[in-house]
Structure 1
Amino acid sequence: MDSTGFVKLGAQLPALADILAQALQTLALPLNETQQRTLLLYLDKLLLWNKAYNLTAITDPVEALIKHVIDCLAIIAHLPAGSLLDIGTGAGLPAVIIAICQPERHCTALDSNKKKIRFIKQISSELGLNNVTPIAARIEAHEGQYDVVTSRAFASLIDFVEAAQPRLADNGYLCAMKGKVPSAEELQALQDTWQIKTIKLDVPRLEDSRHLIELSVKNV
């Protein structure tokens, strides 16, 4: 892979490119060379601008590739189609990763942290991502309807559903990235209104538990 444009990854680039290619193969996610390079450029810029924008506690490139990029790649095949809102996107995870993998999908990256949104604006421009709209706002102050609403920021599934439901289009889906499966109490509190699907994710090179919780409103 051509190292032009990479600042932080440098000598590690070939090894990182191999890890990414193997992960994509395991996930059966067919990305072309340009998309793979863009994912690595995103990682490079995440680490390059980390101190200025306070983006992540992870500074090791391999660890950041696995715990940020590949972790988000694991949900791609499970996402329903349509316009997407990512709440509490932080550095653009998963919004920017989804946008790189699915250029046909429009992704809105929402976070109340203005510095992090400035970072997303900057890298979206540098990486040529025309399908990302970064917005600095709290979810309560944001308007619009989306086919899919994602988040990996909420500790509580109930809090996520409460915040996200007003932004959900008819027949839309909420998709919460979680570590462990939410508690039986949380799921029980939601099951009267929501059809809940729990998808176990196998994230390449990550031993921690990962799940995607997909919710859609029950037709009464």
Structure 2
Amino acid sequence: MTDRAVLQVRLEQGIDALGVALPADAVPRLLDYLALLERWNATYNLTAVRDPAEMVTRHLLDALTILPYLQGETLADLGTGPGLPGIPLAIAAPGRQILLVDSNGKKVRFLREAIRALKLEGVRAVQSRVEEVQGQFDCITARAFASLADMLGWGGHLLAPHGIWLAMKGKAPDDELPGVPAAFEVRRMHALKVPGLESAERHLVVLGRRATSQ
């Protein structure tokens, strides 16, 4: 078991490197989430990442890289798995209504326990296929769970007219851009730097509805 103080240093150094401002209680709460994930992961295999120090980098800091791009009062995290990036974002930028969506029952059970244990206000978890979810959201996050075409094909109805879709990818998904449905457009693509993962490619694709489709 990696000492919590070591994990805290790694997390705080990563946050400093990202240059993001978090609430005063965010670091201990993020570490509480990590401890809960590690505990459940031993039984339920929620993530392939086993080492807590690696979880800090690959889960927490990876999620926090998109913090500057969030907007609006409502957010849906599609294919959230064990709550990534949704739960770190809920801790780092509280105050919005967040819906965590996953089709896997054991992951949703973990999400509901995490919401309860961490006292995450305004956060809900639903077990559902993305295409069956209802509502519209100012911001949608999705962490490499499908191609851009499939993401938008399944979940495009959830994006509010002036909302933004934040698709987290590894390498730049240039080959996926022609498949973006006609009702949507790529607004920007950002290369992300995750502290501790300098050799790994990370990109954020920001999409929105075309003006004509509103």
Query: When the two structures are superposed, what TM-score results if normalisation uses the length of structure 2?
Result: 0.93
Q: Is the aligned partner of 1:101 residue 2:88?
A: no
Backbone CA RMSD of aligned residues: 1.5
Given candidates 34, 38, 56, the residue that maps to 1:43 is 34
- Work out whether 1:205 is the aligned partner of 2:191: no
| Identity value in percent | 38
Name the CA distance, whole Å, in 1 between partners of 2:101 and 2:123.
10
Q: Answer yes or no: is 1:32 the counterpart of 2:29.
A: no
The residue that corresponds to 1:74 in the other structure is: 65
Shift of residue 32, structure 1, vs aligned partner: 3.4
The answer on whether the counterparts of 2:189 and 2:206 sit within 8 Å (CA) in structure 1 is yes
1:150 is matched with which residue?
Answer: 141
1:101-149, CA deviations, whole angstroms, 9 ceiling, x for partnerless residues? 1111111000011111111111111111112101011112211111111
Separation in 1, partners of 2:124, 2:72: 17
Amino acid aligned to 2:68? A
Give the deviation of 1:170 after TM superposition: 1.2
Matched, 1:195 2:180: no
In structure 1, stretches of 5+ residues that fail to align are: 1-7
Q: Which of structure 1's runs of 4+ aligned residues deviate more than 4 A?
A: none
Conservation of the 8 A alpha-carbon contact between 1:149 and 1:164: no
- Does the Cα contact within 8 Å between 1:72 and 1:97 map onto a contact in 2? yes
1:89 counterpart = 2:80? yes
Q: Is the 8 A contact 1:178 1:213 kept in 2?
A: yes
Paired positions, count:
210
- Residue equivalent to 2:112: 121
Superposed displacement of residue 20, structure 1: 0.8
Tell me, yes or no, if the aligned pair for 2:192 and 2:204 is still in contact at 8 Å: yes
- 2:126 is matched with which residue: 116, 135, 155? 135
Distance in 2 (alpha carbons) for counterparts of 1:112 and 1:193 = 26
Distance in 1 (CA, whole Å) between partners of 2:181 and 2:6 is: 44
> Matched residues in 2 for 1:190 and 1:122: separation?
35
Query: What does 1:170-181 correspond to in 2, within 5 Å?
Result: 170-181=161-172
Partner of 1:5: none
Partner of residue 161, structure 1:
152
Offset at residue 191 of structure 1 (A)? 7.7
- Per-residue CA deviations over 1:22-56 (Å, capped at 9, x if unaligned) read 11111111123411100011011100111332211
Q: Residue 60 of structure 1 corresponds to which residue in structure 2? A: 51
Please state if 1:216 is matched with 2:208: yes
State the shift of 1:18 in Å. 0.9
